Amino acid sequence: MSENWKPHVVVAAIVEQDGKFLLVEEKTDDGILFNQPAGHLDEGESLLDAVRRECFEETAHHFEPEALVGVYRWRHPKRRNRTYLRFAFSGVITGFDPTAALDTGILRAVWMTPEEIRATAHRHRSPLLIRCMEDHLAGRSHPLDLLTDFADALAPSPAGGGLG
């Protein structure tokens, strides 16, 4: 394995409202598929800021994360050198901007029931879509203070010094 190998860190918004989940339908290299609002962590960005941004860019909905559903590792079966480390957050919609343009490749935001999501498994971007939904439905929820974000490398060290 290469010394330069790194997983792709991504975030996903798990939004349930009135018995339906917010998904996106998007153009991918593998066709038109469904996914949760999700995307890559940008340099210098916190995980929480990333999931807020990605949800808005892909759905025009303002998302406020409330809990961490889970952390998932998935290796793409067709691109064996591509591994994703996904941080999935549950939360609520706090607003909608109907004038916002959606990210390139996003065809639409759509609300689907769990049954509809399970029935369209052949059109999912990854198996993480169902797994994250099922974990949310099972009540998996971890407090956001589980995450620690040292936003500035020059910030004072915790008492006792060092991070190790």
Give the closest residue to 140 by CA, choosing from 70, 71, 63, 51. Answer: 70
Give me the number of domains the chain comprises: 1
The reply to whether 21 falls in a domain is yes
pLDDT of residue 88: 98
pLDDT of residue 5: 79
The reply to whether 84 falls in a domain is yes
For residue 95 the two structure tokens come to: 């607003």
Q: pLDDT for 76-130, tens place per residue?
A: 877 767 899 999 999 999 999 999 999 999 999 999 999 999 999 999 999 999 9
pLDDT of residue 161: 47
For residue 150 the two structure tokens come to: 């040292």
What pTM value is reported for the model? Answer: 0.88
Give the closest residue to 13 by CA, choosing from 42, 33, 38, 46. Answer: 38
pLDDT band at residue 156 using 50, 70 and 90 as cut-offs: low
pLDDT of residue 163: 44
pLDDT band at residue 159 using 50, 70 and 90 as cut-offs: low
The reply to whether 149 falls in a domain is no
CA-angle at 52, arms to 111 and 96, nearest 5°:
50
The continuous run of DSSP H or E covering 8 comes out as strand 8-17
* CATH number for position 81: 3.90.79.10
The residue segments making up the domain with residue 93 are 8-142
The reply to whether 163 falls in a domain is no
